[in-house]
């Protein structure tokens, strides 16, 4: 059986794969329906479905999104610079707990604190790096992924009005 550190490295891969699939689904919805992410299912709750069969549910929260599909459930935050490759301990551990098949793959990972300790060990080994934009941010990145032009791009399309509002809010 792989060691806990090997299991957390594999969990990172599974988590990021799920995030990339989720972002791909969001991008596809954005291509079909510009600005869909602003629609509110109920006041203050930006949510809905990414498919016509209503099997893939999303809801936006703060700076992130939660996606539930028949195959997996994943939650993640977008980075300020627009990426989605960050590894948040809480989201990744929740991903493991929320997906029974994933949970069974990693029996030695028993708590978020343990996972965070293992991530810190991977930082010490140079495999991970901590988020550089904010001392309060808890995300990690695979060192090899930094600057990688092949990572998935977030392309949620906003209406022209929403784009102007976004730009004025970000740059003021």
In terms of residue numbers, what domain contains 126?
Answer: 4-171
Per-residue model confidence (pLDDT) at position 151: 46
Per-residue model confidence (pLDDT) at position 136: 63
φ/ψ region of 164 (left if φ > 0, alpha if ψ in -120 to 50, else beta) reads: alpha
At residue 111, φ and ψ (nearest 5 deg) are -155, 160
Per-residue model confidence (pLDDT) at position 121: 95
Positions in the chain whose pLDDT score sits under 50: 147-152, 157-158, 166, 168-172
Per-residue model confidence (pLDDT) at position 29: 87
Q: Which helix (H) or strand (E) holds 55?
A: none
Whole-number Å distance between alpha carbons of 140 and 127: 10
Q: How do residues 91-131 score in pLDDT, each as one tens digit?
A: 999 999 999 999 999 999 999 999 999 999 999 998 888 87
Whole-number Å distance between alpha carbons of 135 and 75: 22
Per-residue model confidence (pLDDT) at position 148: 45
Question: Which residue pairs from 77-83 have beta carbons closer than 8 angstroms and sit at least 24 positions apart in sequence?
Answer: 77/139, 78/154, 79/131, 79/133, 79/139, 80/133, 80/134, 81/133, 82/154, 83/151, 83/154
Helix (H, G, I), strand (E, B) or coil at 112: helix
Per-residue model confidence (pLDDT) at position 107: 96
Domain count for the chain: 1
């Amino acid at each position: 059986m792989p060691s806990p550190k090997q299991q957390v490295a594999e969990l990172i891969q599974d988590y990021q794969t799920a995030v990339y699939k989720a972002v791909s689904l969001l991008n596809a919805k954005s291509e079909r329906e510009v600005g869909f992410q602003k629609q509110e299912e109920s006041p203050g709750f930006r949510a809905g479905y990414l498919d016509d069969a209503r099997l893939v549910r999303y809801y936006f929260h703060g700076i992130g999104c939660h996606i539930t599909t028949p195959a997996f459930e994943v939650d993640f935050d977008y980075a300020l610079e627009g990426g989605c490759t960050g590894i948040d301990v809480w989201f990744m551990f929740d991903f493991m707990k929320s997906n029974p098949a994933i949970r069974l793959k990693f029996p030695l990972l028993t708590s978020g604190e343990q996972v965070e300790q293992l991530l810190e060990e991977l930082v010490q080994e140079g495999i991970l790096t901590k988020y550089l934009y904010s001392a309060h941010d808890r995300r990690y990145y695979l060192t090899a992924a930094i600057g990688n032009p092949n990572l998935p791009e977030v392309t949620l399309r906003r209406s022209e009005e929403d784009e102007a509002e976004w730009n004025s809010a970000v740059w003021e």
